Structure 1
Amino acid sequence: MSSEILVRPQPPAADGTFLTVTPQSAGWSHVGFEAVALAPGQVAERPLDGRECCVVVIQGHVNVRSDHGEWTDVGGRPDPFFGTPDAVYLPPGGSVVVEGAGDGAEVGLCFAPAPNGGVPARRIAAADVPATKRGYDRHERIVHDVLMVADPAESLLVTEVITPSGNWSSYPPHKHDRDALPEECLLEETYYHRVTPADGFGLQRVYTDDRSLDETVAVSDRDLVLVPRGYHAVAAPPGVALYYLNVMAGPVRTWAFQDDPALAWTRADGATTDLPIPKEHGSR
């Protein structure tokens, strides 16, 4: 049975690209995402045209070159479950070249339209990415806000989440599919998953009030889930930890969501408090 929301990785292209989502392939208007595995010295180049881009180093090291500047030895995590990421933000114009450095790397290329020219290019150092605990009990998780509302960009919102073994995240299930500020904003979203151990799996559900969309999928290492509309939540089975990289964008760059009324009560006192945690951490 085919899925409306699950995108599987493909054999790598010559430049290391193994997963691609465009607005055209997703059937929406804003978010694009690519996952690329780069050997040392291997190069992936992308035109930026009218798009801004956030290069997130999921693991390893890269060099980044563009019409807006160059940055060497970006990254450093041995895997996505340890510490916060290095990233580079680029506005539209020209192209971006990402080159594998050190022992190579895996990167996420996050795209969204920037018709007003974006903001100045910059490196986002891992030391400047906050790591916080969100939720409580079995929906406690670790959040890395790479490029969220407080950080300059035109359209893009980018964050990472690590869900420890046996826990839930993106919980309670919530949605952001209506242009109805201040109560709710319209944001398309992708979830790029990494799983440890790599032969484990996670679960993600995406569903609407009328159940015109209601899918629960098992996600394997390097799968991607589209969230075009509806509530969504993620679960990590016992013995398995999940990482995902979220990319969001819509007509207004803000983050306002609505919980599923049936489960909104689980957002108890303390559930929305962000608590800082040490910079170096793991969730194996």
Structure 2
Amino acid sequence: MSLYLRRAHQPDAQGRCLTAGLPGQRDGLGHIGLEAFALQPGQAVSRSTGRLETGLVLLSGTGLIEAADLHAEIGGRRSPFEGPGHSVYLPPGAAWRFTPASACELALCHAAVPPGAAPPPPRVIMPGAVRCSTRGAGDNERFIRDLLPETEPAAAMLLVEVITPGGHWSSFPPHKHDTAGPDETALEEIYYHRFRRPGGFGFQRIYDHAGLDEALPLTDGAAVLVPRGYHPVSAAPGCDLYYLNIMAGPERRWQISTDPCFAIAR
């Protein structure tokens, strides 16, 4: 299997079915990590964020989130294709517990906090607060949900959901964000992919112009790690694709460079 691809497995005793990145700076990623869970009613997840900040994204189902003064019932969508759902921001040092009231699909997104950062307190990100937009046109049109953009408070993490219709391209034109400077920021990224239909599939390419070139087959529940390089995505016809993006790096700013070969493609 590629160094950049992780596939889902059957849930373990805690309900976890995927792990990538942090802790321990595994998988070549020093700033971000992802865990995915398939939980049954009452199968609680209880943690402390430690030195990381965490974004809890509820893909489907309902449950109770408890953290410090936060006590809220969240959820309600039946799948991530239905529209924006509830997310929760948790800063470093926060003890928290999520208790499902129904079968739930849960993603935990983790980010290392840069020195000197001042993380905000825990909060629920309501569906109505999620900025939704359309990006691209024709066969690269896709639909963006900004869960935690740089305009909203956090120490390091950026979170985005994207719906790519079957037969379309996404993260296109090919772009990268792996070099610190005035015109580009250095951000690691993880894509967590879900397909609407059983057996749905697609592809993601990670490449640069210095020898890196990986073509990764995407299936439901796959995660793709992007430490560097351009990283466009395609969904097979009839295979609507959802993905969750986690990004973080030394600077919390999304500034990209487009592959010069595709600079005029929009």
Length-normalised TM-score, structure 2: 0.95
Q: What amino acid does structure 2 have at the position aligned with 1:133?
A: T
| Cross-structure match for 2:173 | 172
What does 1:58-77 correspond to in 2, within 5 Å?
Answer: 58-72=59-73, 74-77=74-77
Residue equivalent to 1:271: none
Q: Percent same amino acid at aligned positions?
A: 44
Aligned positions of 1:93-242 closer than 5 A: 93-101=93-101, 103-114=102-113, 115=115, 116-180=117-181, 182-211=182-211, 213-242=212-241
Q: Please provide the CA RMSD for this pair.
A: 1.2
User: Which amino acid counterpart does residue 147 of structure 1 have in structure 2?
Assistant: L
Which residue of the partner structure matches residue 13 of structure 1? 12
| Aligned equivalent of 1:281 | none
What residue is the counterpart of 2:51 in the other structure?
50
Verify the 8 A CA contact 1:62 1:104 in the aligned structure 2.
no
Asked if the contact 1:67/1:93 (under 8 Å) is kept, the reply is no
Q: Which runs of 4+ in 1 moved over 6 A?
A: none
Structure 1 residue 113: Cα displacement: 1.7
Rounded Cα–Cα distance in structure 1 between residues aligned with 2:26 and 2:6: 10
Residue type at the aligned position of 1:219? L
Q: Is the 8 A contact 1:59 1:79 kept in 2?
A: yes
Cα distance in 1 for partners of 2:27, 2:57 equals: 21
Indicate the residue corresponding to 1:273 in structure 2.
Answer: none
What displacement does 1:68 show?
4.8
Please say which of residues 56-65 and 150-159 is displaced more in the overlay: 56-65
* Distance (Å, rounded) in 2 between the aligned partners of 1:32 and 1:69: 24
For each residue in 1:98-151, what CA deviation from the matched residue of structure 2 results, as whole angstroms up to 9, or x when unmatched? 1111x2211111111225351121110011112211111110000000001111
* TM-score, structure 1 normalization: 0.89
Asked if 1:89 corresponds to 2:93, the answer is no
Distance 1:68 1:139 in 2: 43
Figure out how many residues of one structure are paired with residues of the other and give that number. 262
Cα separation, 2, equivalents of 1:47 and 1:27? 24
Residue number in structure 1 paired with 2:254: 255
5+ unaligned residues in a row in structure 2: which ranges?
none
Q: 8 Å contact 1:176–1:185 — kept in the other structure? A: yes
Structure 1 Cα separation of the partners of residues 199 and 26 of structure 2: 27
Taking the aligned partners of 1:96 and 1:17, their CA distance within structure 2 comes to 17
Question: Which whole-Å deviations, capped at 9, do the CAs of 1:227-269 have from their partners, x for residues lacking one?
Answer: 01000100011111100000000000000000010011102xx
Q: CA deviation at 1:56?
A: 0.6
Of the structure 1 ranges 126-135 and 92-101, higher mean CA displacement relative to structure 2 is found in 92-101
Within 1, Cα distance between the matches of 2:59 and 2:145? 12
How far apart are 1:215 and its partner, in Å?
Answer: 0.6
After TM superposition, the structure 1 stretch with the greater mean CA deviation from structure 2, 63-72 or 141-150, is: 63-72
The alpha-carbon deviation at position 11 of structure 1 amounts to 2.1
Q: Residue 171 of structure 1 aligns to a residue in which SS? A: coil
The verdict on how the C-alpha distance between 1:252 and 1:87 changes in structure 2, with shifts beyond 3 A counting, is same
Distance apart, 1:70 and its partner CA: 2.0
Give the distance between the partners of 1:173 and 1:75, measured in 2 at CA: 33
Q: Is the 8 A contact 2:3 2:27 kept in 1?
A: no
Does structure 2 retain, via aligned residues, the 8 Å contact 1:201–1:240?
A: yes
Q: Is the CA contact 1:204–1:218 (under 8 Å) kept in the aligned structure 2?
A: yes
Conserved? CA contact 2:61–2:103, under 8 Å: yes
